[in-house]
Structures are given as C-alpha cells and as structure tokens.
C-alpha cells in the first residue's frame, strides 16, 4: 500500500471516531415534502386559515420499517406549530391532492420493503412576524438509546427544511417561501427535553463498524455537541423525550464512568 493511501485511511478512521453518531448504521425512510398550501374554512362565526403540507415517506430497506411521523413548524421568533387533526381541512386537502392522505391520527404504520404512504400535516396559520421558517419531521428514521457525557437520551434523525421568507411580513403566504435547504439531520434528545442537532456523516456500513471499534478505544475524541436553539441566523427544532424512550434511556444507557 502506498504511504499516501495509508495516511488517508488513518485520517478517515480518526474523523469517524470523533463522530459519536456514526457508531452503527442508522436507517432513514425516503422522504419528500410538497410546498406548503393554504386552506380556509368558512363558517358563520368567521373564517379559519390553516397551512397544509403534503408529504410522502417510503421504505427502500429490505426489511419492514416502523414510521411514526411527527411534523412541526417553527419560526425564528420562537413560535412552534404542531401538526393537528382538523377534519374539514383534511377533506379539502384530500380533494386537492387526489385523496387517501393519512393525517396526524393515523400516519404511524409499518412499511414493508418498497412500500410508501402519503400524508398531510396541518398547522394553524403561521405568524407573519418571522423571517425564517423551519419544518422538522421526526419519527422517519431508526433510533437508539445512547449516553452523552453520562446523560441518557435517544438518538435518531429528523428531516429538516429551512425556508426564508421573501418580501415584507404584511402579505405572508406560502407562495413567498423559498426553500434554502432540506435533508436529514442527526438529533440527540435528552431525558430533560433538550434537543441537540448534529451534522449527518454518510459512510459505508463497514466503515461505521470500524468507527465503532475505534471509538471504544478513544473516548476522549468525542466532543459534546452544542445545544440547539432558535436565533436570528438559524432555527432549530425543539421537543421532549417520549416517556417510553426516557424510561428506556434510564435503564439501558451506559452509566458515566
């Protein structure tokens, strides 16, 4: 083997060892989100406006995968909007998008290899006083219990879309949203509800296994990630550990030495 190849191989091993989220393969579903739409419900007491986002999630794995979609919108001013079930909005969304859309009450399912599903996320009208909008979709990847600096939590990945907003805030509609970025990010959710976001490193499975072995012998290489928060420059997702995950994390996560 040439010296340059040896050096490159060592450098790769060291970089993987420093990535605590690359210790074992993590699967994700194939995800695609449409552009947000507006739905207005007319009633004698007044009109109600909602935002809808149609999305698909498909398994390209060779084994069944469990999906538990949970979609949120968040502004850089600190406001968050949870996907909610509104029958009248769902009926209109189905009519506009060809029907058979799952919603927040029935989107959880087991997907067989190659199987996919369409769903719609429904949100209350988004506050116009914002310059950045972030969509976060959880429950579309594998997850595992881990411990960071002795603190137990659940590691998974979330699909993130970052939008900027064109024009002034007095005419705020989905048509003025510009998608700046999209894709999976790694998420570590601690027992106390803190969410830590990390970059995703895509490496071959065999290299992830090697990284795990290297990590076991060089724990000092791991650096604790910074906490995610909303700011003027970047909006991050927030949330809490599910009660079941928190109990599992407490029982199974390795204790601090």
What is the reported pLDDT for 251?
40
Any bridge partners for residue 123, and if so which?
Answer: 51
Q: pLDDT tens for residues 208-251?
A: 444 444 444 433 333 333 333 322 233 333 333 444 444 443 34
Low-confidence winner among 2-16, 40-54, 73-87, 128-142 (lowest mean pLDDT): 2-16
What is the reported pLDDT for 243?
40
Low-confidence winner among 7-16, 32-41, 81-90, 240-249 (lowest mean pLDDT): 7-16
Any bridge partners for residue 39, and if so which?
Answer: 50
CA torsion angle for 164, 165, 169, 171 (degrees, to 10)? -160
Evaluate if residue 11 carries a pLDDT over 80: no
What is the reported pLDDT for 210?
46
Q: With bands split at pLDDT 50, 70 and 90, how would you rate the model's confidence at 146?
A: confident
Q: What is the distance between the alpha carbons of residues 230 and 238, in angstroms, rounded to a whole number?
A: 9
- The more confident residue out of 32 and 198 is 32
Evaluate if residue 7 carries a pLDDT over 50: no
What is the reported pLDDT for 199?
67
What is the reported pLDDT for 176?
83
Q: Which helix (H) or strand (E) holds 88?
A: helix 87-96
Mean pLDDT along residues 11-16: 34
Q: What is the distance between the alpha carbons of residues 161 and 82, in angstroms, rounded to a whole number?
A: 15
Q: pLDDT tens for residues 161-188?
A: 999 888 666 667 788 889 999 999 988 8
CA torsion angle for 133, 139, 142, 146 (degrees, to 10)? 80
- The more confident residue out of 252 and 84 is 84
- The more confident residue out of 93 and 129 is 93
How much is the pTM? 0.69
- The more confident residue out of 136 and 6 is 136
- The more confident residue out of 2 and 95 is 95
Spatial CB neighbours of 56, under 8 Å, sequence gap ≥ 6: 30, 31, 32, 116, 117, 118, 119
What is the reported pLDDT for 219?
38
What is the reported pLDDT for 26?
82
């Amino acid at each position: 083997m040439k010296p340059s190849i040896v050096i490159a191989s060592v450098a790769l091993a060291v970089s993987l060892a420093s990535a605590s989220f690359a210790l074992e393969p993590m699967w994700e579903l194939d995800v695609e989100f449409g552009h947000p739409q507006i739905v207005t419900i007319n009633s004698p007491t007044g009109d109600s406006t909602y935002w809808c986002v149609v999305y698909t999630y498909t398994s390209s794995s060779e084994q069944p995968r469990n999906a538990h979609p949970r979609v949120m919108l968040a502004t850089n001013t600190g406001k968050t909007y949870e996907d909610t079930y509104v029958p009248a909005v769902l009926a209109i969304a189905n009519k506009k998008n060809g029907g058979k859309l799952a919603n927040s009450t029935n989107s959880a399912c087991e997907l067989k290899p190659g199987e996919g599903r369409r769903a719609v996320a429904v949100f209350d009208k988004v506050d116009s006083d914002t310059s950045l909008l972030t969509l976060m979709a959880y429950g579309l990847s594998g997850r595992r219990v881990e411990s960071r600096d002795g603190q137990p939590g659940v590691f998974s990945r979330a699909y993130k879309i970052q939008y900027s907003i064109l024009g002034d805030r007095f005419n705020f509609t989905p048509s003025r949203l510009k998608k700046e970025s999209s894709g999976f990010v790694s998420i570590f959710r601690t027992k106390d509800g803190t969410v830590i976001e990390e970059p995703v490193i895509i490496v071959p499975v065999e290299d992830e296994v090697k990284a795990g072995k290297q990590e076991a012998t060089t724990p000092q290489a791991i650096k604790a990630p910074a906490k995610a928060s909303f700011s003027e420059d970047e909006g991050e997702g927030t949330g809490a550990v599910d009660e079941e995950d928190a109990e599992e994390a407490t029982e199974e996560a390795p204790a601090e030495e």
